[in-house]
């Protein structure tokens, strides 16, 4: 049986997750998850996504508060269970003061073997946040998606958006998926293709013509700019992520591998974290 894996890009839609320094967690989670999906599928691993755009995976219209969150999270578990996957990997970025990577899993389960390796992969870029693994089960952080998925489940916190990690995220977020990919393929199987994309450095910041570095831009202007980049580089662009309010990230295939560019950011007056790049 070929290996099957569910990638969960945390948050999305109504829920931005952690926000700071012009970074929005739901966009980063999606960016890493889509990048990782592409790499894994290229290696022959069957990947199921809980979301592929900036949405909540299930309809939560009319719901609020805990009821909405629970339905959202159960929706992610249902997608994983319906696909009968072997592994569930939930990708998040952290906030609350601190630096580095950490993971959560049920300490008694199989995931305890994979979780520290995924943290090691993120720590290559961001370092560690204390212990590599924390108890995500009922006696610990009690994380819904870890308790309610049938698959072996890991929740990964890649780095902190609200600390000195933020600049590293902006500069080097493109390294995360390739590093996770190598660990997953090595640990879980699959044939590694000869042209495994290597993270390219340094990351360029491309500011499209319509985005003046001194001005804030509207979401529409940013969309147009990104669409233009998409068209101009249609042979090389392998992914893009534009959040409702957050940064626009574009991944471009280069001679050396892949490169992520921070293409712009929307200014949202209601949220002082977000400014034009």
Residue identified by tokens 């926000």 is: 19
Residue 94 CB, nearest distance to Zn ion (Å)? 7
Residue 160 CB, nearest distance to Zn ion (Å)? 11
Residue 12 CB, nearest distance to Zn ion (Å)? 10
The residue among 10 and 264 lying less far from Zn ion, judged by its C-beta, is 10
With a CB cutoff of 8 Å and minimum separation 6, the contacts of 78 are 58
The residue among 100 and 208 lying less far from Zn ion, judged by its C-beta, is 100
Residue 43 CB, nearest distance to Zn ion (Å)? 26
| Residues 76 and 50 sit within 8 Å (Cβ to Cβ) | yes
Catalytic residue among 157, 175, 221, 259: 157
With a CB cutoff of 8 Å and minimum separation 6, the contacts of 270 are none
CA distances 124 to 121, 130, 157, 226, 272, Å, are 6, 15, 14, 30, 31
The residue among 17 and 136 lying less far from Zn ion, judged by its C-beta, is 17
Question: 3-class SS at 75?
Answer: helix
Q: Which residue lies nearest Zn ion, judged by its C-beta?
A: 92
Residues 223, 238: Cα–Cα separation, whole Å: 17
Residue 97 CB, nearest distance to Zn ion (Å)? 15
Residues near Zn ion, by CB under 5 A: 10, 17, 92
The residue among 91 and 185 lying less far from Zn ion, judged by its C-beta, is 91
| CA neighbours closer than 13 Å in the CB half-sphere of residue 175 | 18
Residue 194 CB, nearest distance to Zn ion (Å)? 35
With a CB cutoff of 8 Å and minimum separation 6, the contacts of 236 are 252, 253, 254
The residue among 156 and 200 lying less far from Zn ion, judged by its C-beta, is 156
Note if 157 is an active site residue. yes
The residue among 249 and 277 lying less far from Zn ion, judged by its C-beta, is 249
Alpha helices (runs of H) in the chain, residue ranges in sequence order: 25-42, 65-82, 111-126, 144-147, 165-172, 176-188, 219-232
Beta-carbon count within 10 A of 182 CB: 18
Question: 3-class SS at 94?
Answer: strand
Catalytic residues: 157
């Amino acid at each position: 049986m070929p290996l099957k894996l569910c990638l969960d890009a945390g948050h999305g839609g109504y829920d931005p997750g952690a926000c700071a320094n012009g970074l929005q967690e739901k966009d980063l989670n999606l960016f890493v998850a889509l990048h990782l999906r592409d790499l894994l599928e290229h290696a022959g691993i069957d990947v199921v996504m809980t979301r592929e755009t900036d949405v909540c995976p299930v309809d939560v219209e009319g719901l609020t508060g805990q009821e909405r969150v629970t339905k959202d999270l159960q929706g992610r578990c249902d997608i994983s269970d319906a696909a009968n996957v072997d592994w569930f990997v939930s990708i998040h970025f952290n906030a609350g003061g601190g630096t580095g990577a950490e993971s959560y899993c049920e300490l008694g389960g199989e995931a305890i073997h994979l979780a520290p390796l995924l943290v090691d992969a993120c720590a290559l870029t961001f370092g560690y946040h204390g212990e590599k693994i924390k108890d995500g089960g009922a006696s610990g952080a009690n994380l819904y998606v870890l308790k309610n998925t049938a698959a072996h489940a890991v929740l990964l916190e890649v780095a902190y958006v609200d600390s000195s990690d933020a600049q590293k995220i902006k500069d080097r977020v493109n390294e995360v998926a390739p590093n996770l990919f190598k660990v997953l393929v090595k640990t879980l199987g699959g044939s590694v293709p000869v042209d495994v994309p290597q993270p390219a450095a340094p990351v360029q910041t491309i500011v499209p013509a319509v985005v003046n570095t001194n001005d804030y831009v509207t979401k529409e202007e940013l969309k147009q700019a990104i669409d233009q980049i998409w068209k101009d580089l249609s042979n090389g662009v392998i992914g893009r992520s534009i959040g409702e309010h957050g940064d626009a990230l574009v991944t471009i295939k280069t001679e050396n591998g892949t490169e992520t560019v921070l293409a712009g950011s929307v200014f949202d007056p209601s949220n002082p974290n977000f400014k034009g790049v």
